Structure 1
Amino acid sequence: MRTRVAVIFGGVSVEHEVSVISALQAIQNMNQDKYEIIPLYISKDRVWFTGEEMLDIENYKDLKGLLSKAQKVVMARTEDGKVVVQKEPRPRFGKSILSEVDVAFPIIHGTFGEDGVLQGFLELLNVPYVGCDVLSSSTGMDKVIMKNIYRDSDLPVLDYVWFYSTQWTEDPEAWTTKIKEKLDYPVIVKPANLGSSVGISKAENEEELEEAVDLASKFALKIVVEKMVQNMTEVNCSVLGDYEHVEASVCEQVLGSDEFLSYEDKYAGGSKDGGASKGMESTNRVIPAEIGDGKTKEVQEIAKKSFQMLGCSGVSRIDFIIDNDADKVYINEINTIPGSLSFYLWEPAGKPYKQMLDELIQLALKRERDRGRLMFSIDSNLFSLQTGGSKGSKGSKR
C-alpha cells in the first residue's frame, strides 16, 4: 500500500505563486510507485481545494476557472483518529471523505505556511508532516528572533537595529540617529518576517532610509535594518537532516542584478518570457561557488550549526554574505521551506530530487516515531478528585 502524502501549497502570502511552482515541481518528482499524492491548494482567501486540475501549472493562468472546477475540501480528524481530506461542505448524501492522509508535506513559503502557523494546525490534527516544527519554523521566519539567537550562540551575523513600525512613526529621528551611530550608511532595510526579498531595499542616506522603512512597513510590523557589506559575495548552502544527523549540500554563488538579490532576480530573471517558471533554480548562479575549499567548508559547517541551533528538520537553505574586504562569513537568513526545496544544490552531490523527497518524508515519519515515546498528557481527571465543589487552590487535596 502506498503512503498517502498530502502536499499543501499556495497560501496567504506574497510568495503564493512561488509556492505553487515549488510544490508542482516536487509532486512531479515524487516516487509515484511509493507515494499516493493528494494535492491541497490553499487559495489567497484561505479556501482549500483539491483535484487533478491542480497539478497542471498552465491551469493557474485562469485561476478563477481552475477553482470553479476544483473540489473544495478541509483537512479534519475523524472520531476514530484518522486524518482525512473531506468535501466542504459535506454532502447530505453520498461519500464525503475523499482520502486519508498518512503524512503532510507543506510547501508554502512565507506567512501562514513557513512561520509555524500551518505546522501548529498539523500538530493539532496529529498528522506527521515534513519539515521544521512550530518553534523552528516561527524562529526561522522572524529575522529578529533568528538573529538574536544566532548572535547569542556566537554564530556570525551582521550588526543590526530593529523596531516596530509604530515606534518609527512615533519618533523617526531617534531611530535615524541610532541607525546612523550603530550602522552608518549604506544599510539594508527588511520586513522581519518575509522571504523572497519582498519589501527589501537599500538606503544610502536619511531620505532613502525613510522611503525604505515605509516600503517595509507595508509588509510587516517589525522592521530590521542591517549594515550593508559593499564588497560582498552571496553564497547559499542547503542542509538536510534533523537534530541527530545533518549533511550540507554544495554551495552556490548567487549573481544578482544589483547589490542584493531581488524578487525579480530570484523568480523572473531566468525565465525566457519573464514569468516565474522555475523558482530559485532559474536564478543566475555558479555551482559550486567559486570561494575556495576553505571558505566552502567554513560555510557548510556554519550552515549545519545554524540548522541544528534552531532545531530544524527536513531541508533548509541558509543564505550567507561573505565580506570580501574583511574575509568574514555572515549568516544572512535561514529559509525553512526554501524555493524549489533547493534540490538543485543536492543533485550535483549525487542526490537526485526523487531521493531527497523520499528522505524528507522518511524524516517526518521518524519524528513521529520519536515523539511517540514522549508523554504529552497524564491519564487522570483532577476534577474527579475534588469534593464539595470547586475550591480553587485552597480546595481538597484528596
Structure 2
Amino acid sequence: MKTRVAVIFGGVSVEHEVSVISALQAIQHMDDTKYEVIPLYISKDRTWYTGEDLLDIDNYKDLKGLLQRSQKVILSRGGNNSVELHKDPKPRFGKSYIGEIDVAFPIIHGTFGEDGVLQGYLELLNLPYVGCDVLSSSTGMDKVAMKHIYRDSGLPILDYVWFYSTEWNEDQDSLVKKIENTLSYPVIVKPANLGSSVGISKAANVDELEEAVELASEFTTKIVVEKMVQNMTEVNCSVLGDYEAAEASVCEEVLGSDEILSYEDKYTGGGASKDSGASKGMESTNRVIPAEIGEEKTREIQEIAVKSFQLLGCSGVSRIDFMIDKGEDKVYINEINTIPGSLSFYLWEPTGKPYKQLTDELIQLALKRQREREKLMFSIDSNLFSMSNLSGGKGSKK
C-alpha cells in the first residue's frame, strides 16, 4: 500500500506563488511507486482545496477558474488515530469523506507556513509532517531570535540592531543614533520574519534609512538593521537530516544583479520550463555550483551550516545563506531557510542525490520523528476532577 502524502502549498504569505512553484516541482519528483500524492492548496483567503487540476502550473494563470473546478476541504481527526480529508461544506447528499492522509509535506514559504504556525496545527492533528518542528521553524523564521541563538553559541553573525516599528515611530532619533553608533553606514534593513528578499533594502545615509524602515514596516512590525558587507561573496549551503545526523550539500555562489539578490533575481529570471511544468524557481538563479571559494573555505561553510542546522533542532532540508567578507576573509551566517525555494534540490544533485531520492529521504525523516514521538508521554492518565478537595469555580490550588 502506498504512503498517502499531502503536499501543502500556497498560503497567505508574500511568497505564495513561489510556494506553488516549489511544491509542483517536488510533486513531480516523488516516487509514485511508493507515494500517493494529495495536493492541498491554501488560497490567499485561507481556504483549503484539493483536486487534480491543482497539479498543472498552467492552470494557475486562471486562478478563479481553477478554484471553481477544485474541491474545498478540511482536515479532521478520524477513527483509529487517522487524519481524514473531508469536503467542505459537508454535502447535503452523499459522503463528505475523501480519504486519509499518512504524512503531510508542507512547502509553504514565509509566514503561516514556514514559521511554525502550520506545524503546530499538524501536531494538534497528530499528523506526521516533513521538515522542521514548531520551535525550529519559528526560530529559523525570526531573524532576531535566530541571531540571538547563533551569537550566544559562538557562530559568526554580523552586528545588528533590532526594534519594533512602534519604537521607531515613537523615538526615531534615538534609534537612528544607536544604528549609526553601533553599525555605521551603509546598512541593510530587513523585515525580521520574511524571506525571498521581500522588503529588504540598503541605506547609505539617514534619509535612505528612513525609507528602508518605512518599506520594511509595510511587511512586519519587527525590523532588523545589519552592517552591510560591501565587498562580499554570497554563498549558500543546504543541510539534510535531523538532530542525530545531518550532512551538507555542495556550496553555491549566487550572482545577483545588485548588492542584494532581489525577489526577481531569485524567481523570475529563468522563466518557465515546459519540461518541468513549472517555473524553475530558485534553480533559475544565476549561480556557480560548486562555489569557487577553495576547499578550505568550502569545508568551513559546510561545518558551520551543519552546526547552525542542528543547533536549532532542524529536521528535513534547509538552506543556510552565508556572506564572505572578501576584505577580511571572514564568513558570516546571513540566515537559515527551513523550507528553501525548490527545496534546494539543485545543491544535492551534484552530490549524487537526485531529487526523487531527496523527497524520499524527507518523507522518511518525518516518519522517523513520528515514531520517536509515539514513545514519549504527553499526558498523564488521571482524573483531577474526581479529587474531593477541589473547590469548583473558586479555582483553588490547595
Structures share fold, TM-score greater than 0.5 = yes
CA drift of 1:386 comes to: 2.4
Shift in CA distance, 384/343, structure 1 to aligned 2, threshold 3 Å: same
- Give identity over the alignment, percent: 78
Shift in CA distance, 382/293, structure 1 to aligned 2, threshold 3 Å: same
Q: State the match for 1:376 in structure 2.
A: 378
In the alignment, structure 1 residue 293 sits paired with structure 2 residue 291: no
Q: State the match for 1:232 in structure 2.
A: 232
Secondary structure of the residue aligned to 1:8 is strand
Shift in CA distance, 126/203, structure 1 to aligned 2, threshold 3 Å: same
Give TM-score, length-normalised by structure 1: 0.97
Q: State the match for 2:194 in structure 1.
A: 194
In the alignment, structure 1 residue 75 sits paired with structure 2 residue 75: yes
Render the CA deviation track for 1:198-224: whole Å, top value 9, x for unaligned.
000000000000000000000000000
CA drift of 1:93 comes to: 2.3
What number of residue pairs does the alignment pair up? 393
Q: State the match for 1:215 in structure 2.
A: 215
Across the aligned residues of Structure 1 and Structure 2, the Cα RMSD in angstroms comes to 1.2
Q: State the match for 1:26 in structure 2.
A: 26
CA drift of 1:324 comes to: 0.5
CA drift of 1:378 comes to: 0.3
Q: Which amino acid aligns with 1:43?
A: S
CA drift of 1:278 comes to: 1.3
State how far apart, in whole Å, the 2-side matches of 1:78 and 1:14 are. Answer: 33
In the alignment, structure 1 residue 252 sits paired with structure 2 residue 215: no
State how far apart, in whole Å, the 1-side matches of 2:197 and 2:365 are. Answer: 29
Secondary structure of the residue aligned to 1:7 is strand
Secondary structure of the residue aligned to 1:85 is strand
Q: State the match for 1:345 in structure 2.
A: 347
Shift in CA distance, 325/102, structure 1 to aligned 2, threshold 3 Å: same
Secondary structure of the residue aligned to 2:279 is coil
Give TM-score, length-normalised by structure 2: 0.97
CA drift of 1:270 comes to: 2.3
Q: State the match for 2:10 in structure 1.
A: 10
CA drift of 1:260 comes to: 1.5
Shift in CA distance, 269/47, structure 1 to aligned 2, threshold 3 Å: same
Secondary structure of the residue aligned to 1:104 is strand
Render the CA deviation track for 1:321-343: whole Å, top value 9, x for unaligned.
00001110000000000000000
Q: Which amino acid aligns with 2:346?
A: Y
Q: State the match for 2:163 in structure 1.
A: 163
Which residue of 346, 355, 358 maps to 1:356?
Answer: 358
Unaligned runs of 5+ in 1: none
Secondary structure of the residue aligned to 2:9 is strand
Q: State the match for 2:172 in structure 1.
A: 172
Unaligned runs of 5+ in 2: none
State how far apart, in whole Å, the 2-side matches of 1:84 and 1:292 are. Answer: 51
Secondary structure of the residue aligned to 2:110 is coil
CA drift of 1:192 comes to: 0.2
State how far apart, in whole Å, the 2-side matches of 1:89 and 1:168 are. Answer: 45
State how far apart, in whole Å, the 1-side matches of 2:220 and 2:282 are. Answer: 23
Query: Does the aligned pair in 1 maintain the 2:140–2:336 contact within 8 Å?
Result: yes
Shift in CA distance, 394/190, structure 1 to aligned 2, threshold 3 Å: closer
Q: Which amino acid aligns with 1:194?
A: L
Q: State the match for 2:285 in structure 1.
A: 283
CA drift of 1:237 comes to: 0.1
Render the CA deviation track for 1:131-177: whole Å, top value 9, x for unaligned.
00000000000000000000000000000000000100111111111
Q: State the match for 1:109 in structure 2.
A: 109
Q: Which amino acid aligns with 2:332?
A: Y
